[in-house]
Chains A and B, each alone.
Chain A
Amino acid sequence: MNKPEVYVKDREIVIPGQKMARGMTPGDNVYVDKDGFLRSSLLGLASLEGNKVDVIPLASTYIPKVNDLVVGKIEKISGGTILVNINSPFTAVIIPPRNNKNLGLEVGDVVLAKVKAFDGMSSPLLTLEYEGLGKISGCVLLEIDPAKVPRVIGRRGSMLNILSSKTGSEILVAQNGFVVVKPRDHKSLMAIMKALNIIQEESHISGLSDRISRLLDTILSGGS
Chain B
Amino acid sequence: MLYVEKKPEKLIDENGLRTDGRRPREMRPIKMEVGVLDRADGSALVEWGGNRILAAIFGPREVHPKHMALPDRALVRVRYNMAPFSTPERRKPGPDRRSIELSKVIRNALEQAIFVEKYPGAAIDIFVEVLRSDAGTRVAGITAASLALAEAGIAMKGLVAACSIGKIGDVIVVDPGHDEDMWGDADMPIAVMFEDRLITLLQMDGPMDESQFSEALSLGMSCCELIYELQKEALRRPFVFVERKVVGGDQTV
Contact = CB atoms under 8 A, between A and B. Distances in A.
B139 to A, nearest CB: 19
Contacts of B247: 205
A121 B71 contact: yes
Interface of A: 13, 15-19, 29, 31, 33, 39, 41-43, 57-61, 89-91, 120-121, 145, 147, 201-202, 204-205, 211
B60 interface: yes
A43 B152 CA distance: 9
B246 A202 contact: yes
Contacts of B151: 43, 59
Nearest to A37: B195
Given A33-B196, A147-B153, A15 B235 contact: yes
Contacts of A59: 41-42, 151-153
Interface stretch (B156-164, B172-180, B203-211, B219-227): B156-164
A125 to B, nearest CB: 15
B239 A41 contact: no
B119 A43 contact: no
10 closest residue pairs by CB, A with B: A17-B158, A59-B153, A89-B122, A16-B156, A41-B155, A43-B150, A89-B60, A17-B195, A60-B153, A89-B61
24 contacts: A13-B236, A13-B239, A17-B193, A17-B196, A19-B195, A39-B195, A41-B156, A42-B156, A43-B151, A43-B153, A43-B235, A57-B153, A58-B153, A59-B151, A60-B153, A61-B60, A89-B61, A89-B62, A90-B62, A120-B120, A121-B121, A145-B153, A204-B239, A205-B243
Contacts of A18: 195
Nearest to B123: A89
Nearest to B245: A202
B157 A17 contact: yes
Contacts of A147: 153
A88 to B, nearest CB: 8
Contacts of A29: 155
Contacts of A57: 153
A109 to B, nearest CB: 20
Which has the most chain A C-beta neighbours within 10 Å: B42, B60, B153, B236? B153
B239 A15 contact: no
Nearest to A59: B153
Nearest to B122: A89
B153 A17 contact: no
Interface in B195-253: 195-196, 231-232, 235-236, 239, 242-243, 246-247
B183 interface: no
